[in-house]
A and B are shown apart, each in its own frame.
Chain A
Amino acid sequence: MKITKEIIELHGLKSDEYSKIKLLMNREPNYLELGIFSAMWNEHCSYKSSKIHLKKLPVKNKNVIQGPGENAGVIDIGEGDAIVFKIESHNHPSFIEPYQGAATGVGGILRDVFTMGARPIALLNSIHFGDPSNKKTKNLLNGVVSGIGGYGNCIGIPTVAGETKFNNTYNENILVNAMAVGLVNKKKIFYSKAKGINKAVVYVGSKTGRDGIHGASMASAEFDENSEDKKPTVQVGDPFTEKLLMEACLELMKKDSIISIQDMGAAGLTSSSVEMAFKGGLGIELDLDKIPCREENMSPYEMMLSESQERMLIILEDGKENEARQIFKKWDLDFVVIGKTTDTKNLSLKFKNEVVATIPIEALSSKAPLYDRKWVKKKFDKKKINLKEHKKIKFDKAFFELISSPNHSNKQWVTEQYDQMVMGNTIERSGADAAIVKIHQKDKAIALTVDSSANYCKSHPLSGGKQIVCESWRNLISVGAKPIAITNCLNFGNPENPEVMGQFAENILGIKEACEFLDYPVVSGNVSFYNGTNNNNIYPTPVIGGVGLIKNLNKIKNHKFKKIDSHILIIGKTFGHLDQSAFINELYNIHDGMPPEINLLNEKNNGEMILKLIANENINSVHDISSGGIIIALAEMSISSQVGVKIQKPQKISNIFEYFFGEDQGRYLIEVEKNNLSKVEKKLRENNIYFENIGTTQKDYFELEKDLKINVKELYELNNKWYNKFNGLNS
């Protein structure tokens, strides 16, 4: 087939990129070769727009065993144990086909984790949808939630935490980010770097079909009105086969047979073979006649670009073939030697006894285009909100509206569709500041959280980047965990737009600054650009997945009030910052202004103080203050425990709305029993930690002087109202 301008364009390649291909090949590529270039050079696989920025992130400290660049990041949690984790996006496929898109998102991220030798022990997710009153949103939410559940529940990994958010910015581009966490013996970690010449390259897992062809290219372009036509590019998941693949791989990993292993994710067989060969400085030769195919007459082009799920590529040590074959036979999976490693440094493909493609590996990887795209700094809107200029609203009414709004409603409707308890180690589930998962048969646990704050990142990408790292850190602290490291999923619009690229560049700087200050490095991640439709880009939405360590299982805290007549203290100073708050956003529909400032020094001091208070058993419960401010945080503590509060307004406050709905950062609520109060207050003063005592817990009523009084049972109902109604409309 002659390579025409149209064919090049259809493959998502720019004309200068095509010229570069010709230069690297020293000739015109054939159609198959062009397909392979497009699969490797697209944004999703090559990180060509993001790489130079990502390099700025801190990726090392004493706990990091493996940073970005592998299938997932690895951190040391002591006693020979390590945690493998990563977050990844599946936004584009989920918008086109929500159930399968979300399900295969979970499947893909699980493979990244068990490829490294780890048994997955927890799943998390961050999902963002458009206007909830939009019918399409309901279908998408239903599909995505049941897809996430369908995959995780079947394979038997608990989905322990997540976030579900709504914002009109996602009307035409939803976000589905999935995170997987696994446990591995530090000495048995597997990597993707090939070693040695003439080693067997083995294909294991599901057969190859025509699903998902051009999936990665689809995820590297904006949507338009023809997005529906892209349905065939969405893969179909089979969690049962993934379970077999996982068990078989983990069984094989107990032996010393594997040189390297890589899952076939985006760009399937192409990217997995290229990646393994490139890392080892080798070539790879594949015989495509041997690929197990699900459909008849599949062409080399289709085989190389298929994104069929549940497949792996393994390079085996000599003489280990039979042993390995037996294990895959036991699990009823395909096991075929499809090629070998070579010293040619080429990707060489044979089909029907003919060489059908020969491409230098480097041309597909290290020589892929790299862009320092033009970017502009965000112009700030420094106008501050003045409540006096807007309609008056009663405090209790505002509170009731916010606590029953889609974004602040109880998310049980979502989380009850996920098995959170399978594997028997989930100590704290969804709804807490962070989930807690016990390490099987050990006296320690890890804490896990995913967080995002698109509103802040949109109005001030630098500060938003810092904030989201701090929020993640704070959530782990709140359950008594020492934060160790993060994984990030960077969801942005079109990088060819200098404003979007500016959001990305500044956001990365913010993440970098906070990670460095808090010694909270980035060990893995994923970039998803082109989240936009017809030139409408989504708000910049970095999602941070954080992992922390709990060494003493008796020193765990949650946000449920434990007793009545306890004192409630706010740690950290309240200035009453309302711009970009949930209150202003949802009740006044105002979306401009600056987000709250981040003071990293206070953040660190306050957090470390909380950990000390937990370690000394001075406090009963802890909750971080985030979206919705003090009053929403208090409500969450009351709703989860069914214990009421009696709150007094501090005397100096100028405005009750600013004080209770403001979203100043670095703050926590703590519950302190009466007999511990003086001890705790003394400790806080000695350490120069700002705090305020705002009242006590009480039976039955959630109460703020004359401004608000509601029975906690009614408050619970109010918090559940929205999803119950949503569920009703769907059944």
Chain B
Amino acid sequence: MNSSVIVFPGSNCDRDVATALTNLQFKNKMVWHKDSELPKSDLIVIPGGFSYGDYLRSGAIAAKSNILKEVIKAANSGCLVLGICNGFQILIETGLLRGALLRNKDLKFVSKDINLKIINNENKFCNKYKKNSIISLNIAHNEGNYFTQRDHLKELEDNNLIPFKYCDKEGSINENSNPNGSLNNIAGILNNKKNILGMMPHPERMVDNLISNSNGVELFTSILS
């Protein structure tokens, strides 16, 4: 499977994602933000980082970049697109995903391992996970507090567009297990066609048991299957 990782000057998880993809047998290419052509890709990843510094709203400038025009075209024609952390913020800014990512509820950068419950696995990104299973991934962000309008939230819930929510070790989804104030503990969302996933947690950091755990592997192998 061919994958492309978009590299902005301030991307800083680009190498990590590329390493994970390559180790899992993707044929990966790095694509520079100034490029105006995408290599043939089955999967496009927009990695974490600070795209253009994010001194303005996170991802706002990146959404207007050369390469994003191509990503939007590809996404609209059904290519799989995965936005992780800053990548999620950029997807929101482009309008490919709806809603907003506000500052974390306690107004601080938060970096820690959190638990996620797999709410929906009937999509290209999560089919290797068991429904209702609990996985642990790492988060590291300042603006990950997902918010959207009530009718959109209902749409997300009703149409199985929320793949995972923050929970505690036992799987309870409540305020105490919500690290950033996200609506309904939402950690990631899909578009209606389910070919675009935006998520705040970093699956690429959890692909090696020696370093952390390997809970992120299934996300990538789901895409491969």
Residues of chain A having any CB pair with chain B under 8 Å: 146, 149-150, 153-156, 238-241, 243-244, 247, 331-332, 412, 415-427, 438, 440-441, 553, 727, 731
Interface residue from A238, A243, A331, A731 paired with B12 (Cβ < 8 Å)? A243
Q: Known pairs A240-B9, A332-B9, A421-B140. 6 more at Cβ < 8 A?
A: A153-B140, A154-B54, A155-B12, A243-B10, A422-B13, A422-B140
Instruction: From the candidates B13, B108, B210, name the one contacting A438 in the complex (CB within 8 A).
Output: B210
| B211 near A426: Cβ-Cβ < 8 Å | yes
The answer to whether residues A421 and B202 also contact, given A146-B108, A240-B52, A553-B210 and a CB cut-off of 8 A, is yes
Report whether B9 and A331 are in contact in the complex, using a CB–CB cutoff of 8 Å.
Answer: yes
- Per DSSP, chain B at the interface is loop
Cβ of B30 under 8 Å from chain A: no
Q: Enumerate chain A residues within 8 angstroms of B50, measured Cβ to Cβ.
A: 154, 156, 239-240, 243
Residues in A with CB closer than 8 Å to B40 are none
Are A240 and B204 in contact, CB atoms less than 8 angstroms apart? no
Give the complex CA separation of A424 and B207 in angstroms.
9
Residues of B within 8 A of A153 (CB): 109, 111, 140, 142
Please tell me if the beta carbons of A425 and B111 are within 8 angstroms of each other in the complex: no
Cβ contact within 8 Å between B110 and A423: no
Least CB separation from A119: chain B residue: B15
A420 to B205, CA, bound (A): 11
In chain A, what residue has the closest Cβ to B111?
A: A419
Does A422 contact B9, Cβ atoms closer than 8 Å? no
Residues on B with C-beta less than 8 A from A238 are 53
Whether B9 pairs with A421 at a CB distance below 8 angstroms is no
Contact A424-B19, Cβ < 8 Å, known A240-B53, A244-B9: yes
Smallest CB gap from A556: residue in B: B210
A421 to B207, CA, bound (A): 12
Per the bound structure, the CA–CA distance linking A173 and B183 in Å amounts to: 42
- Chain B: interface residue count, which band? 20 to 34
Instruction: Please determine whether A421 and B210 come into contact, CB atoms closer than 8 angstroms.
Output: no
Please name the 9 residue pairs, one residue from A and one from B, whose CB atoms are nearest each other, closest first. Answer: A156-B12, A240-B53, A424-B16, A419-B140, A419-B111, A154-B50, A421-B138, A421-B205, A417-B109
CB < 8 Å A-B pair total:
92
Q: Complex formed: what's the CA distance from A241 to B55 in Å?
A: 12
Q: Which residue of A lies closest to B23 (CB)?
A: A441
User: With a CB–CB cut-off of 8 A, which chain B residues contact A244?
Assistant: 9-10
Check A438 against B9 for contact (C-beta < 8 Å).
no
Chain B contacts for A243, CB-based, 8 A = 9-10, 12, 50
Inter-subunit contact B111/A421 (CB<8 Å): yes
Asked if A240 meets B55 with Cβ closer than 8 Å, knowing A154-B10, A154-B50, A417-B109, the reply is yes
Per-residue contact bits, chain B 184-225, to A (CB 8 Å; 1 contact, 0 not): 000000000000000000101101101110000000000000
A153-B140, A422-B16, A424-B204 in contact; A416/B111 too (CB < 8 A)? yes
* CA of A264 to CA of B4, assembled, Å: 37
Kindly state whether residue B152 has any CB partner on chain A within 8 Å.
Answer: no
**Which B residues touch A727, using CB under 8 A?**
106
Contacting pair B10 A240 (CB below 8 A) = yes
* B49 and A156 within 8 A (CB): yes
Interface: B112 (CB within 8 A): yes
Q: Which residues of A contact B110 (CB under 8 A)?
A: 416-417
CA distance A425 to B108 in the complex (A): 24
Q: What's the nearest-Cβ distance from chain A to residue B219, in Å?
A: 15
Is there an interface contact between B9 and A731, defined as CB atoms closer than 8 Å? no
**Chain B nearest CB: distance from A152 CB in Å?**
10
Contacts of B108 in A (CB 8 A): 146, 416-417
Residues in A neighbouring B54, C-beta threshold 8 A: 154, 240
Near A by CB (< 8 A), chain B positions 63-92 give none
CB neighbours of A418 from chain B (8 A) = 109, 111
Q: A416-B112, A417-B108, A421-B140 are in contact. Are A156 and B13 (CB under 8 A)?
A: yes
The distance in angstroms between the C-alpha atoms of A247 and B10, with both chains bound, is 10
Shortest C-beta distance, A200 to chain B (Å), equals 25
Per-residue interface assignment for chain B, residues 47 to 59, with 1 indicating a CB less than 8 Å from any chain A CB and 0 otherwise? 0111011110000
Q: Give the one of A331, A417, A419 with max B CB within 10 A.
A: A419
Question: Cβ of A150: which chain B residues have Cβ within 8 Å of it?
Answer: 109
Neighbour of A420 across the interface among B52, B111, B207, CB < 8 A:
B111
Output the least CB separation between B175 and chain A (Å).
Answer: 15
Known: A243-B12, A417-B108. A154 touches B53 (CB 8 A): yes
Q: Which residues of A contact B204 (CB under 8 A)?
A: 424
Chain A residue numbers with a CB within 8 Å of B106 are 727, 731
Rounded to whole angstroms, the CA-CA distance of A153 and B140 in the bound complex is 8
- Nearest to A241 among chain B residues (CB) is B53
A415–B111 Cα gap in the complex (Å)? Answer: 8
Within 8 Å CB of A424, what residues of B?
15-16, 19-20, 204-205, 207-208, 211
A640 → chain B closest CB, angstroms: 13
B16 touches A423 (CB 8 A): yes
CB–CB B210/A427 < 8 A: yes
Please give me the residue from chain A that is nearest to B112 by CB atom: A416
A residues near B16, Cβ cutoff 8 Å? 422-424
A377 to B19, alpha carbons, bound, how many Å? 56
Q: How distant is the Cα of A412 from the Cα of B111 in the complex, in angstroms?
A: 10
Quick one: closest B residue to A153, CB to CB? B109
Counting chain B CB atoms within 10 Å of each CB, the highest count among A417, A424, A438, A441 belongs to A424
Question: Looking at the complex, which one of A247, A415, A425 makes contact with B9 (CB distance below 8 Å)?
Answer: A247
Docked CA distance A553–B204 (Å): 20
CA distance A426 to B210 in the complex (A): 10
Cα A427 to Cα B208 in complex, Å, equals: 10
Residues on A with C-beta less than 8 A from B48 are 422
A513 to B223, CA, bound (A): 58
* Nearest neighbor of A155 in chain B, beta-carbon distance: B12
